[in-house]
Chains A and B, each alone.
Chain A
């Protein structure tokens, strides 16, 4: 009986305040889409870091012929110099943080370039124009500066490059995007909360006659308040559902279908990541509705 009563009241309440209920649904939809998008961008970021930091290396480029750099003015790197550099990496103070060392000769660099070259630039080059290098993989990529300090001034070294620098701008951009999404999400969540509060208040006022009678005949406070709380929760949950559907569609059609076919060298977030975010969005929606109703109802349906 109680369950039937509550569901009936919730349905009636939503129907009577249809426009308000719809606006709650839409506002939670938009706000939670932003929350979810921020979360997905962060996940994408984590994935990129995992992928790339595993691959990236510190590159110690050695002096080629005719280098533009001052420290290579004496000419190309000699075998002695190369051995010295290798000795520093293998036995010097930095040896403990170095994981693997790979020497890329001029010829190997050229072959590598040819392999990845899609525009035919390699036809204009000869192996002699390429630059030998040490590719050093670190146990902890954050320790780059230590290795750079130890090797940059050795004779025969042209320049030491941390490949992470190439990505740092992209990461900065993605982080900024997360911040923007999170800020918008916060504002929208606030709007959603205010709207839910107003909706519940209107609903409570429009049903004041019922609640007065319910108090009079001695129904429990929870039974009086439950329909209003559920109304907010149902509307917010619908909004969360839409947000999840929106995020799923975004990932499925925008990222998986379009982005991954046009920019292929990145692993993207997938549908499974949306399902990871989904329960959190639902939880935020329910929490949002509950907090708003507790704040509102105390005043309008007191015993």
Chain B
């Protein structure tokens, strides 16, 4: 589903590579944690998959597409196959919960009837039924992140990218979010989650990919956050 072949990314000429000959293969339906300290290359990894950046050398394949050869007008189609969730939620403050989720469908040209059918179902899935008319600032952090997940998943993309989705949440709330992501993963969706949250990684016991200084230092099934704790 996602494959990086000897990928190196250098932002400025002569600078240290943000990613250094990284090769990773993520199969359909995998749940993968991407761990590493700030500056280890996690963000670059995600940006390459979203094709916000292109690799300096090496090849990137996502959802059957060779991103190196993908023309820029096809990029929107790639992004429809990837749901993205961020640490800062990125909700539209002047739109209600329902409108925020519907927005993602409207702007890719879905019909009104499709929107009406899908959005309530999705809000039900993330546990926000009954809060459709709330505005983001009337919700707790966890609830806001659920809206963001609903928005990312409303189009049923085969891939869900999460960049520190629990970074702004307390541990109890984080567990709820992880349960939700796990549930989405069980529908066959590939989930790739970049995180600093060692407790969550340790609890979930999923595949762990660790980056350090741009290099892949670990790719381990049923892994934990820190190597020293294995």
Contact = CB atoms under 8 A, between A and B. Distances in A.
Interface string A111-126: 0000000000000000
B107 A303 contact: no
Contact of A214 (B75, B84, B107, B112): B107
Interface residues of B, number: 27
A217 B108 contact: yes
B110 A216 contact: no
A213 B92 contact: yes
Nearest to A302: B72
Given A2-B109, A5-B106, A5-B107, A219 B90 contact: no
A128 interface: no
Contacts of B69: none
A218 to B, nearest CB: 3
A278 B107 CA distance: 36
Contacts, number: 60
A216 B92 contact: no
Contacts of B80: 217-218
Most buried by B among A2, A217, A224, A303: A217
A217 B79 contact: yes
B11 interface: no
Interface string B62-82: 000000000011011111111
Interface string A196-211: 0000000000000110
A210 B76 CA distance: 15
A17 interface: no
B149 interface: no
Nearest to A220: B76
A43 interface: no
B109 A218 contact: no
Interface string A93-110: 000000000000000000
Interface residues of A, number: 18
Interface in B74-126: 75-82, 84, 90, 92, 103-104, 106-112, 115
A110 B187 CA distance: 108
Contacts of B152: 217
B90 A1 contact: no
A1 B111 CA distance: 6
B112 A303 contact: no
Contact of B151 (A210, A217, A220): A217
A209 B72 CA distance: 21
B76 A218 contact: yes
A223 B107 contact: yes
A303 B84 CA distance: 15
Contacts of A221: 73, 76
A164 interface: no
Contacts of A219: 76, 107-109
Interface in A211-257: 212-221, 223-224
Nearest to B109: A2
Nearest to B51: A303
A213 B73 contact: no
Interface string B26-68: 0000000000000000000000001000000000000000000
A285 to B, nearest CB: 28
Nearest to B83: A217
Nearest to A217: B104
A220 B81 CA distance: 14
Contacts of B115: 1
Interface string A154-187: 0000000000000000000000000000000000
A1 B106 contact: yes
B155 interface: yes
Given A214-B107, A303-B72, 17 more contacts: A1-B109, A1-B110, A5-B106, A209-B92, A210-B103, A212-B90, A213-B90, A213-B104, A213-B151, A215-B76, A216-B90, A217-B80, A217-B108, A217-B151, A218-B79, A303-B75, A303-B76
Interface of B: 50, 72-73, 75-82, 84, 90, 92, 103-104, 106-112, 115, 151-152, 155
23 contacts: A1-B106, A1-B109, A1-B111, A1-B115, A2-B109, A5-B106, A210-B92, A213-B103, A213-B104, A213-B107, A213-B151, A216-B79, A216-B84, A217-B79, A217-B80, A217-B151, A218-B78, A219-B108, A219-B109, A220-B73, A220-B76, A223-B107, A303-B75
